[in-house]
Amino acid sequence: MRVAMIGTGYVGLVSGVCFSDFGHDVVCVDKAQAKIEMLRRGDMPIYEPGLESLAARNVAAGRLSFSTDLAAALDGADAVFIAVGTPTRRGDGHADLSYVYAAAEEVGRAMTAPGVVVIKSTVPVGTNREVLRILRRVRPELVIDVASNPEFLREGAAIEDFMRPDRVVVGAATERARDVLRALYRPLSLRDAPIHFTSLESAELIKYAANAMLATRITFINEIADLCEHVGADVQDVAHGVGLDRRIGPKFLHPGPGYGGSCFPKDTLALARTGQSANSPLRIVETVIAVNDARKRRMVEKISGALDDRLAGRRIAVFGVTFKPDTDDMREAPSLVVVPALIGAGAAVTICDPHGRKEGEALLPGAAWREDPYEAAAAADAIVLLTEWNMFRGLDLARLRSVMSGDALVDLRNIYRPAEAAAAGFAYTSIGRPAAAPA
Ligand code: NAD
């Protein structure tokens, strides 16, 4: 089948590359000329493990290409995906749909034959019907169907998630749209991934409800971690014991500095706004948002506490600034709250992150960057671990301690063992765990 993928960001690029690997002919389109030029050279504009080689393989097979020419990409396309951004709208927290609507209008004008337009972007209830109205207004003479196909991939594991999803959700109002999506995802049905067909509205809401549920679990275990600190329990033991209950399961019960990223913050906010607009407030989601926002700020107090409440003039090494490991995505990362606050309080911050610098340097002005964690920690009073990249898990803690001036290790992802950190000479602070006695 022939696919046009409009928007070549984290979702559009991964989806386009994976569809081409299924054997479909895919043209990935973006307005950003520089991105398309990079892709044509074989370079990836984002860091996503495995993406570069998978793209190269399918380009070489003649199934995948990149273009800024929308009209040419639409020629003969069986499905046109819209995978553009839906960030938070300035001022009111609703999803900003201007990119989706602009893309729909451009697609409508450029289409030459009947077809199916598929919204892959995360969009609030009612958006797919509005896209249908736009297409009918722009091209009243063409039969154009709309389908909602929200994406559930996780950055850092995006290819695996796309190739082996728990489910594919398709909202569609016509049999033709269902047939096209069924054919596109057929390689997955052979691997037993169910396609869940619903109405347009239900598909739109499934995506938001899923993200809100995951954000709620994270926020819940973060509050339990806080309680652990007050009552002497260990949140790792508590989360494990809770997760062994098969009704609950172990996923998304890892305490940390608060969720960030390109999806949870904006999607929980947009869902809360949808609830308010529909006169059906989502009080749990509203609380999750407030608790998570406050948590990121409170992490600064935790770090300050580990430095005797004196940040001015202190040297702090920050390990990891992307919102999670295995991505270069900095959107809404806890580091964007924590690092400026530390610098604002007079601390000198040196960052080590294997893929964060390209995006992060402009977003975190005033910080120094080092590629090597031991160099970043040299003469530091404290190390703050914000993102649990694998490269930080196996560090030689005794060596790390020996290059520092101070002894504070603030582990906001609980990747080290308290006893191990204490044995290396650290004054170790983590989340929701009792401190080990100093060695
Ligand atoms: P992104 O910002 O990385 O990419 C969007 C791309 O669309 C950009 O390259 C931009 O230049 C391009 N674009 C915008 N308007 C265009 C137009 N009219 N024509 C051509 N290109 C256009 O965004 P993303 O992270 O890939 O997210 C896209 C959507 O997918 C969002 O709705 C997001 O919520 C959703 N989503 C994201 C993830 C994730 O992990 N990033 C996961 C699931 C769903």
pLDDT tens across 382-415, in order? Answer: 999 999 999 999 999 999 999 999 999 999 999 9
**Mean model confidence pLDDT for the chain:** 97
Centre a 10 Å sphere on the Cβ of residue 340 and count the other Cβ atoms it contains. Answer: 17
Please tell me the number of Cα atoms within 13 Å of 138 on its side-chain side: 19
Between the CA of 82 and the centroid of ligand 1 the distance, in Å, is 9
pLDDT of residue 435: 72
Burial grade of 429 (CB within 10 A; 0-12, 13-18, 19 or more) = buried
Band of the pLDDT at 423, cuts 50, 70, 90? very high
State which ligand 1 atom lies nearest to the alpha carbon of 13. 26
- Report the alpha-carbon distance of residue 10 to residue 15 in Å, rounded: 8
With a Cβ cut-off of 6 Å, ligand 1 is lined by 6-12, 29-32, 35, 83-86, 99, 102-103, 106, 121-122, 151, 153, 155, 262-263
Regarding pTM above 0.85, the answer is yes
Strand locations in 165-260, DSSP E?
Answer: 168-172, 195-198
Ligand 1 atom 34 nearest Cα: 122
Band of the pLDDT at 189, cuts 50, 70, 90? confident
Fold of domain 2-198: Rossmann fold (3.40.50)
For residue 345, give the DSSP letter.
Answer: T
Over pLDDT 90: what percentage of the chain? 97
Ligand 1 atom 3 nearest Cα: 9
Containing H/E element for 79? strand 79-82
Q: How far is CA 202 from the centre of its chain?
A: 22
Mean pLDDT in residue range 150-156: 97
Q: 87 — phi, psi (to 5°)?
A: -70, 175
Two structure tokens written together for 409: 């290790």
Between the CA of 32 and the centroid of ligand 1 the distance, in Å, is 12
* pLDDT over 70 (residue 293): yes
Among 153, 99, 90, 139, which residue's Cα sits nearest to residue 123? 99
- Domain coordinates of the chain in residue numbers? 2-198, 208-290
Two structure tokens written together for 120: 């892959």
* pLDDT tens figures, 130-146: 999 999 999 999 999 99
Mean pLDDT in residue range 239-243: 98
* pLDDT over 70 (residue 439): no
H helices within 260-412, ranges in order? 264-277, 283-306, 335-344, 357-363, 373-377, 390-393, 397-403
Ligand 1 atom 27 nearest Cα: 85
Band of the pLDDT at 438, cuts 50, 70, 90? low
Give the type of residue at 211.
Answer: N
Describe the strand order of the beta sheet including 115-119 as a list of residue ranges: 64-67, 25-29, 2-6, 79-82, 115-119, 144-148, 168-172, 195-198
Two structure tokens written together for 276: 């308010």
Mean pLDDT in residue range 409-428: 97
* pLDDT tens figures, 213-238: 999 999 999 999 999 999 999 999 99
Q: In this structure, is the dihedral angle defined by the CA atoms of residues 43, 47, 51 and 53, taken in order, positive or negative?
A: positive
Q: In this structure, is the dihedral angle defined by the CA atoms of residues 291, 296, 301 and 305, taken in order, positive or negative?
A: positive
Mean pLDDT in residue range 98-114: 97
Among 392, 383, 380, 382, which residue's Cα sits nearest to residue 354? 392
R_g over Cα of the chain? 23
* pLDDT tens figures, 13-71: 999 999 999 999 999 999 999 999 999 999 999 999 999 999 999 999 999 999 999 99
Ligand 1 atom 28 nearest Cα: 85
Q: 94 — phi, psi (to 5°)?
A: -70, 160
Containing H/E element for 81? strand 79-82
Between the CA of 437 and the centroid of ligand 1 the distance, in Å, is 48
Question: How would you classify the pairing of strands 168-172 and 144-148?
Answer: antiparallel
Q: In this structure, is the dihedral angle defined by the CA atoms of residues 289, 290, 291 and 292, taken in order, positive or negative?
A: positive
Among 207, 85, 74, which residue's Cα sits nearest to residue 142? 74
For residue 64, give the DSSP letter.
Answer: E
Q: Which of 30, 48, 211 to mutate to test the pocket of ligand 1 (most atoms within 8 A of CB)?
A: 30
Fold of domain 208-290: N-(1-d-carboxylethyl)-l-norvaline Dehydrogenase; domain 2 (1.10.1040)
- Report the alpha-carbon distance of residue 278 to residue 273 in Å, rounded: 8
State which ligand 1 atom lies nearest to the alpha carbon of 10. 26
Ligand 1 atom 14 nearest Cα: 84
Q: Which of 35, 84, 208 to mutate to test the pocket of ligand 1 (most atoms within 8 A of CB)?
A: 84
For residue 115, give the DSSP letter.
Answer: E
Band of the pLDDT at 419, cuts 50, 70, 90? very high
Whether 15 contacts 83, CB under 8 Å: yes
Three-class secondary structure of residue 380 per DSSP: coil
Between the CA of 10 and the centroid of ligand 1 the distance, in Å, is 6
263 is catalytic: yes
Per annotation, catalytic residue among 18, 28, 228, 263:
263
* pLDDT tens figures, 300-325: 999 999 999 999 999 999 999 999 99
H helices within 122-199, ranges in order? 127-138, 158-163, 175-184, 186-189
Show Cβ contacts of residue 243 under 8 Å, excluding neighbours closer than 6 positions. 249, 250, 251, 253
Between the CA of 226 and the centroid of ligand 1 the distance, in Å, is 35
pLDDT of residue 437: 60
**Number of H-type helices and E-type strands within the chain:** 19, 14
* pLDDT over 60 (residue 107): yes
Q: Which of 5, 6, 8, 11 to mutate to test the pocket of ligand 1 (most atoms within 8 A of CB)?
A: 11
State which ligand 1 atom lies nearest to the alpha carbon of 45. 9
State which ligand 1 atom lies nearest to the alpha carbon of 35. 9
Between the CA of 11 and the centroid of ligand 1 the distance, in Å, is 6
Between the CA of 357 and the centroid of ligand 1 the distance, in Å, is 21
Please tell me the number of Cα atoms within 13 Å of 170 on its side-chain side: 27
